[in-house]
Amino acid sequence: MNMNESSENYLETILVLSKTKPAVRAVDIAEELGFKKSSVSVAMKNLREKEHICVSKEGFITLTPSGQEIAEMIYERHELLTHWLVKLGVSKEIAAEDACRIEHVLSSESFNAIKNYIESN
């Protein structure tokens, strides 16, 4: 799963939006991330070519199994790291921002070690 941070963020955003919206469209992603719709369209084309998303003829975006796997992995990292940083005394806003940066560069080995530590304490 060699992906860049931007692609991972798009997949995570699609996952999060799909939890609250019956259908996710490029305009929803653009609004959520504060990006231009044209930028989102280019990113969606790349994700579609990599077979991480499907786009219906109506413009509804869904995650493929590989896209779902990546999105869930990033989302789990984000949630766990945010919660952990808040427990350490970091403000919720800063914790979420820092978790968003950390979630993309942390190795699986380090993430699993942190996760195991948190769950055992």
The model carries a pTM of: 0.90
Q: Which residue has the tokens 């969606």?
A: 44
One-letter amino acid of 35: F
| Cβ–Cβ under 8 Å, residues 67 and 54 | no
Architecture of the 5-64 domain = Orthogonal Bundle (1.10)
Cα(92)–Cα(85) distance, rounded to whole angstroms?
8
pLDDT of amino acid 3: 76
pLDDT at 2: 55
pLDDT truncated to tens, each residue of the chain (121 aa)? 457 899 999 999 999 999 999 999 999 999 999 999 999 999 999 999 999 999 999 999 999 999 999 999 999 999 999 999 999 999 999 999 999 999 999 999 999 999 999 999 8
- Note whether 93 and 59 are within 8 A (CB): no
Quick one: CATH architecture of 70-120? Answer: Orthogonal Bundle (1.10)
The Cα 19–Cα 66 span in angstroms is: 18
Residue 54 has what DSSP assignment?
A: E
Domain limits of the chain? 5-64, 70-120
Q: How far apart are CA 49 and CA 42, in angstroms?
A: 11
